[in-house]
Amino acid sequence: MFNYWLVLGLAVFTEIVWALSLKYVQTNPSPWVIAGSVVLSFVNMALLSFAMRGIPAGTAYAIWTGLGAVGVTIGGIIWFGDPLGAARVAFLALIVIGVVGLKAVSP
> Which pLDDT value is given to residue 106?
78
What's at 14, amino acid-wise? T
What's at 70, amino acid-wise? V
Q: Give the confidence band of 105 by pLDDT, cuts at 50, 70, 90.
A: confident
Q: Which residues contact 14 (CB under 8 A, 6 or more apart)?
A: 40, 43, 44, 47
Dihedral, CA atoms, 21, 101, 61, 53, nearest 10 degrees?
120
Query: How many C-beta atoms surround the C-beta of residue 11 within 10 A?
Result: 25
Q: Give the pLDDT mean for 79-87.
A: 94
pLDDT (tens digit, 9 = 90+) per residue, 21-55? 999 999 889 999 999 999 999 999 999 999 999 99
Query: How much is the CA Rg of the chain, to the nearest whole Å?
Result: 15
Position 1 pLDDT exceeds 80: no
> Which pLDDT value is given to residue 54?
93
What backbone phi and psi angles, to 5 degrees, belong to 52? -70, -10
Position 101 pLDDT exceeds 80: yes
> Which pLDDT value is given to residue 47?
97
Position 66 pLDDT exceeds 70: yes
For the chain, what is the mean pLDDT? 93
What backbone phi and psi angles, to 5 degrees, belong to 98? -65, -40
